[in-house]
C-alpha cells in the first residue's frame, strides 16, 4: 500500500515535532508492506513577517487541495498527516496525528494569535480526519477535553528514540553541571529552574541548551545576574549537544506541560538521572525512573537535585531504571502500530 506523508514540517528541522515526523516517516518506510511517499508541500517564499500572508496562503492551499492532488496522482491508498494538520475530506482516507494541545493546556504561555490559529486548525483537522492518533494518553485526554472528542476515537502510539552516537566529545565546561535541553519557551517553565539556582544554590552549575524561544531574553537576563552559575548556549550542533548530554551530572526538566517529552528520555537513554516537573505527560512517559517536583516549586526542584547528587545509591538506581525506561520507546513498535491504523482506514475506505 502506498502511503502519502505530509512532511512539510521538516522545513523546520530543529523542533521536536520535526524530529517526530522524521522518525515516524523513516520507520514506516522500513515496513515491507508500505510504500511511503514523502510530500514536502509548497516551498516558502522568503522569511519574516512581510512574507507570512503569502506563505500562510500557500500552506492553506496545500491542505485544501494540493496534497490530495499529489497523493492521487501517485496512487496513494492512505494519507498520513503527522503534524496536526489535515486535508479536506476526500476519497483517500487520512490518519491525522495531533501530538499535543499545549497551547490550551498551559494558557498564557503562547501568543494569542497562534492560539486562535492553532485551535482553528486542529478543530478542522479533527473534523476531517478518518482516524486520529496522538503520542501520549495525556495528550489524548487534553484533546478530548478541549475539543469535545470521544477519547475512544483517538489512538495513542508512543514515538521511538533514535540510538545515541557512539562517539562523545570532551566535556563542554570544566565543572559539574545540571542540564536542561529544549527551547527557551514560556511553557518550559525555566523561571522555576532559575529561581532554584538563585535562591537555593545547588552545588552544580545549570546549563540551558536549545533553540532560543520567546523567553530567551528573560532567561539570558536572569542568567547574567547569577555569577556564572547558569550557562545559556542557544542551539548547538549534534555532536556538541551529545557532549552536553553525556557529561551532565543530572538532567532537569521543569516544563509546565508536554505532549511527550523527548529530552528527559534521551537523558535517561544516556545514563543521566532525571528530575522533572510532575506535569503534562512527564509522569506517564518517565514513570518511576525519574524524581519529580511540583511545577512551580523551585525549592522542591533544588532538593531533588541535591538528593540525586548526594546519594550514590539513589543515583545508581535511577541510572539503571532510566535506561530500562528509555529502552521501551522503539521506532519499530511505533511503525507497527501506525501501519496497522493506516491499513485499517484504507480497508474501510
pLDDT at 16: 83
pLDDT at 167: 86
pLDDT at 339: 96
pLDDT at 42: 86
pLDDT at 118: 94
List every span in the chain annotated with CATH 3.40.50.2000: 2-160+330-348, 177-326
pLDDT at 59: 87
- CA 185 – CA 35 distance, rounded (Å): 37
CATH number of 2-160+330-348: 3.40.50.2000
Residue 35 DSSP class: E
With contact defined as beta carbons under 8 Å apart, do 70 and 4 qualify? yes
Render pLDDT for 293-318 as a digit per residue (tens, 0 to 9).
999 999 999 999 999 999 999 999 99
pLDDT at 24: 95
Counted residue by residue, the chain has a size of: 349
Cβ neighbourhood burial of 18 (10 Å; 0-12, 13-18, 19+): middle
For the chain, list residues with pLDDT below 70.
Answer: 13, 349
| N- to C-terminal Cα separation, the chain | 13
Residue 207, all three cell numbers: 546549563
Render pLDDT for 131-183 as a digit per residue (tens, 0 to 9).
999 999 999 999 999 999 999 999 999 999 999 998 898 999 999 999 999 99
Q: Which CATH superfamily is domain 177-326 in?
A: Glycogen Phosphorylase B; (3.40.50.2000)
pLDDT at 333: 95
Q: What are phi and psi of 47, to 5 degrees?
A: -135, 160
Residue 156, all three cell numbers: 495513542
Amino acid at each position: 500500500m502506498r502511503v502519502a506523508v505530509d512532511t512539510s514540517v521538516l522545513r523546520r528541522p530543529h523542533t521536536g515535532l520535526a524530529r517526530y515526523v522524521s522518525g515516524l516517516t523513516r520507520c514506516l518506510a522500513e515496513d515491507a508492506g508500505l510504500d511511503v511517499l514523502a510530500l514536502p508541500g509548497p516551498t516558502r517564499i522568503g522569511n519574516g513577517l512581510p512574507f507570512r500572508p503569502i506563505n500562510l496562503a500557500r500552506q492553506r492551499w496545500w491542505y485544501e487541495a494540493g496534497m490530495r492532488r499529489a497523493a492521487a496522482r501517485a496512487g496513494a491508498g492512505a494519507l498520513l498527516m503527522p503534524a496536526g494538520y489535515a486535508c479536506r475530506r476526500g476519497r483517500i482516507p487520512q490518519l491525522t496525528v495531533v501530538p499535543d494541545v499545549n497551547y490550551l493546556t498551559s494558557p498564557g504561555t503562547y501568543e494569542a494569535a497562534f492560539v486562535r490559529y492553532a485551535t482553528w486548525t486542529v478543530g478542522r483537522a479533527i473534523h476531517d480526519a478518518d482516524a486520529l492518533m496522538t503520542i501520549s494518553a495525556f495528550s489524548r485526554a487534553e484533546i478530548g477535553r478541549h475539543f469535545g472528542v470521544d477519547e475512544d476515537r483517538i489512538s495513542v502510539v508512543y514515538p521511538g528514540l533514535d540510538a545515541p552516537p557512539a562517539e562523545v566529545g570532551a566535556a563542554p565546561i570544566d565543572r559539574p553541571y545540571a542540564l536542561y535541553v529544549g527551547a527557551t519557551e514560556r511553557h518550559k517553565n525555566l523561571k522555576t529552574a532559575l529561581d532554584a539556582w538563585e535562591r537555593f544554590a545547588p552545588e552544580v552549575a545549570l546549563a540551558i541548551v536549545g533553540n532560543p524561544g520567546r523567553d530567551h531574553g528573560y532567561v539570558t537576563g536572569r542568567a547574567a545576574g547569577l555569577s556564572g552559575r547558569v550557562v545559556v548556549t542557544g542551539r548547538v550542533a549534534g555532536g556538541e549537544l551529545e557532549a552536553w548530554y553525556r557529561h551532565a551530572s543530572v538532567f532537569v526538566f521543569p516544563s509546565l506541560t508536554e505532549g511527550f517529552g523527548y529530552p528527559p528520555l534521551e537523558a535517561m537513554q544516556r545514563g543521566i538521572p532525571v528530575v522533572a516537573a510532575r506535569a503534562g505527560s512527564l509522569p506517564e512517559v518517565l514513570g518511576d525512573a525519574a524524581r519529580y517536583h511540583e511545577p512551580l516549586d523551585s525549592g522542591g526542584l533544588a532538593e531533588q537535585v541535591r538528593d540525586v547528587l548526594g546519594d550514590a545509591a539513589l543515583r545508581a538506581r535511577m541510572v539503571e531504571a532510566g535506561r530500562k525506561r528509555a529502552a521501551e520507546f522503539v521506532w519499530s513498535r511505533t511503525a507497527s502500530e501506525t501501519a496497522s491504523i493506516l491499513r485499517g482506514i484504507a480497508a474501510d475506505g
